[in-house]
Structure 1
Amino acid sequence: MTQELPQAGAVRAYPAPGAAAVRELLLDWCGADADDADDAVRALGALDGPALELADRLYQGIAADMGGVKWLSWPKPPAAHPLLGLFPLLAAVPDMLAFHAERGVDEDLSRRLLGDVGEKLRLNRRLYGRAGLDVAHWFTGHVRGSLYQLGRLQFCVEGEGPAPYVGVHIRGEGGPLTLDAVRDSVEWALEFLPAVFPERYAGPGDLALGCHSWLLDPQLRDWLPERSNIPGFAELFALEGDGDPAGNRSDLWRFVFGRSEDTPVEKLPLDNTLQRSVMAGIEAGVQWRNRFGRLDLSRLGL
């Protein structure tokens, strides 16, 4: 995909972050662990010429599409530089803050949004046993102003058209997925998005919200305990399609078990109720699937 990126310096000079800026942004803005901040500083100093040029081109892609929808397609980082994508993202934080300020987005929301970076750095360390950011492209939605953390949920402007579809996303470290928390987030989004993007949404009636996730698999109801919040969340959505008949291994291994996809089933952790419930389904031959659903506001009383 590298050839799809702008050429180095095509938009404006890449403001390559220095070691002090990387450390401050990760610790003070992104809520990263000290180990990840330390490894990021070391990785920054180890970037060679080709890696720096790729970082420049990745930044150019962000700068050329501020306010764009969804997230950008990025190539996988070179094996020798698993944190490469982090640096153009951090370089784009001032661009994000300027965009947010122009749209009336409070800096507290900007900081809350960047906390997702620290979470994914922690997840990468659990997955691979080292520092990395294998989903760096996901954060191009954050820094370009298309995605926002509003309470428990994230909302992303996705798709083309005058009133693009809004994707609902769920952070792993966001806290309990209670109906009250979900309702509060959705109410916030119905007010927030038309205010921030009046050229796209005249009002709440223009918002079509949907979610594509393993959390919406109705089979989970048969395996999770009644006290679980997940089935209640899934029931808020009107499902469309049947999902991938091949099943969904990658997301479950990543988000439920915190392990890479090549981890054998017998080595998956069983430390909590969710892990034990999903494992029981695996052992019974359940084909877990990602499902897509449209949020039915009436099911939230909205």
Structure 2
Amino acid sequence: MTQDLPQPGAVKAYSAPDAADVRELLLDWCGALPEDADDAVAALAALDADAVEGADRRYQSIVADMGGTQWIPWPRSPEAHPLLGLFPVLAAVPDMLAFHRAHGVDEDLSRKVLADLGEKLRLNRRLHGHAALDVAPWFTRHLRGSLYQLGRLQFGVEGPGPKPFAGMHIRGEGGPLTREAVRESVEWAMEFFPAAFPDRYAGPDDLEFVCESWLLDPRLREWLPERSNIPGFGALFDLQGEGDPAGNRSDLWRFVFGRTEDTPVEDLPGDNTLQRSVMAGIKAGVTWQNRRGRLNLHRLAL
């Protein structure tokens, strides 16, 4: 996969972040933990020539396709440099900000985009016990200006063609997933995207909202209490296609239990209602699945 990335400096000179840049961006822009900022500064100093070249080539893939609607499949970071993917992401922040300004996106929204990076660093620390960024390619759309945090939800310009759909994503630290919060986010998106991308969306009627997540598995309604917001969220969507019969252990282990996929079932925590409900389903033989659905705006009275 590395061979598919542009060569170093192919598009634009790679301005590698220095220690001060790394610390400022992580603490002031991303809301990262101080220990993650400290470890990132140490990791930056430990990069060898091959790792720096790898960071450069990843950066080139971002700036080569600003505004792109697909995630870029970066190679996995080498074991010796678990934060390698972080540095091209940070180096591309000025490019993201320039793209945002050109599309009328203010700095407050830019900061909300980057807050996801601090969250994923915290999740990696819980998963692995040390600083890492195992989902660095996820941020290749943030930095290219095609994903935004609008209230409770993230929305991405996704899919091929001149009028991409609006993908919906749910940050784990975003707060309660209430119907009111979802409605406010969708209303914001219906205003934001036609204003920021008039060449793609003539108006709110042009927007099709699509989500793919374990949160849309309709069987959750049978296991979660009625007061839970999750079944209510799933009920807002018209499901498309069938779920993978093999299920989606990776996302469930990661986002529900905060554990790596190789963690045995008996070692999973049951600290909250969601964990206990999902675990009850697992023990009953339920293979939880990602499902894809189209948001039914009428169910939000929109």
Query: Structure 1 length as normaliser, TM-score?
Result: 0.99
Distance 1:67 1:284 in 2: 45
User: How far has the Cα of 1:248 moved from its partner?
Assistant: 1.3
**2:94 is paired with a residue of what secondary structure?**
helix
Unmatched 5+ stretches in structure 2: none
**1:218 is paired with a residue of what secondary structure?**
coil
Q: Could you tell me which residue of structure 1 aligns to residue 298 of structure 2? A: 298
1:125 aligns with 2:104: no
- Cα deviation per residue 1:234-291 (whole Å; 9 max; x = unaligned)? 0000001111011110000000000000000011111111000000000111111000
Q: Could you tell me which residue of structure 1 aligns to residue 82 of structure 2? A: 82
- After the TM superposition, which parts of structure 1 deviate over 2 Å for at least 4 consecutive aligned residues? none
240-249 or 172-181, which deviates more: 240-249
Distance 1:7 1:94 in 2: 21
Distance 2:210 2:98 in 1: 28
Q: Could you tell me which residue of structure 1 aligns to residue 101 of structure 2? A: 101
Partner letter of residue 174 of structure 2? G
Partner letter of residue 80 of structure 2? A
User: How far has the Cα of 1:97 moved from its partner?
Assistant: 0.5
Distance 1:38 1:260 in 2: 24
Distance 2:38 2:259 in 1: 23
Distance 1:49 1:243 in 2: 44
Distance 1:242 1:222 in 2: 18
Contact 1:236 1:296 in 2 (8 A): yes
- Cα deviation per residue 1:62-93 (whole Å; 9 max; x = unaligned)? 01111111321111000100100000000000
Q: Could you tell me which residue of structure 1 aligns to residue 188 of structure 2? A: 188
Q: Indicate the RMSD between aligned Cα atoms, in angstroms.
A: 0.6
Partner letter of residue 4 of structure 2? E
**2:219 is paired with a residue of what secondary structure?**
helix
Contact 1:256 1:275 in 2 (8 A): yes
Q: Could you tell me which residue of structure 1 aligns to residue 230 of structure 2? A: 230
User: Taking every aligned residue pair, what percent have the same amino acid on both sides?
Assistant: 75
Partner letter of residue 212 of structure 2? H
Correspondence list, 1:94-243, <5 A: 94-243=94-243
- Cα deviation per residue 1:161-184 (whole Å; 9 max; x = unaligned)? 110111100000000000000000
- Cα deviation per residue 1:47-72 (whole Å; 9 max; x = unaligned)? 00100000000000001111111321
Distance 2:270 2:126 in 1: 15
Contact 1:70 1:156 in 2 (8 A): no
1:21 aligns with 2:29: no
Distance 1:105 1:12 in 2: 23
Contact 1:70 1:147 in 2 (8 A): no
Q: Could you tell me which residue of structure 2 aligns to residue 4 of structure 1? A: 4
Partner letter of residue 284 of structure 1? A
Distance 1:69 1:235 in 2: 27
Contact 1:11 1:63 in 2 (8 A): yes
Partner letter of residue 117 of structure 2? V
Distance 1:178 1:281 in 2: 23
Partner letter of residue 28 of structure 1? D
Partner letter of residue 180 of structure 2? D
Correspondence list, 1:59-70, <5 A: 59-70=59-70
Distance 1:34 1:12 in 2: 31
**1:292 is paired with a residue of what secondary structure?**
strand
Q: Report how many aligned residue pairs link the two structures.
A: 302
Unmatched 5+ stretches in structure 1: none
Distance 2:159 2:256 in 1: 28
**1:211 is paired with a residue of what secondary structure?**
strand
Distance 2:71 2:27 in 1: 24
